[in-house]
């Protein structure tokens, strides 16, 4: 009986992994979009400002995926 209560309490204490799944999915979708744009348009991303924007969005998505992975571990 006590063992069942301990297991039930451990299940309640586990954080939801949904934020990680969402951030990881967004990062994967972003990678697919970047890959398809990079392969179909040789001049992608165009100028320096667009390049910095792509890098900035990528860094934010990677940081979000890493942070949610650590928090929900």
Q: How confident is the model at residue 58 (pLDDT cuts 50, 70, 90)?
A: very high
* Mean of pLDDT over the chain: 91
Q: Does residue 15 contact residue 72 with C-beta atoms inside 8 Å?
A: yes
With a cut of 80, say whether residue 20 has pLDDT above it.
yes
Q: What does the alpha-carbon distance between residue 3 and residue 56 come to, in Å, rounded to a whole number?
A: 48
Global confidence as pTM = 0.79
Residue 58: how many other CB atoms lie within 10 Å: 14
With a cut of 70, say whether residue 24 has pLDDT above it.
yes
Q: What does the alpha-carbon distance between residue 21 and residue 12 come to, in Å, rounded to a whole number?
A: 19
Q: How confident is the model at residue 15 (pLDDT cuts 50, 70, 90)?
A: confident
């Amino acid at each position: 009986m006590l063992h069942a209560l301990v297991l039930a309490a451990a299940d309640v204490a586990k954080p939801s992994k949904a934020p990680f799944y969402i951030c990881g999915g967004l990062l994967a979708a972003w990678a697919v979009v970047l890959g398809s744009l990079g392969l179909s348009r040789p001049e992608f991303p165009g100028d320096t400002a667009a390049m910095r924007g792509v890098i900035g969005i990528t860094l934010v998505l990677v940081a979000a995926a890493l942070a949610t992975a650590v928090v929900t571990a």
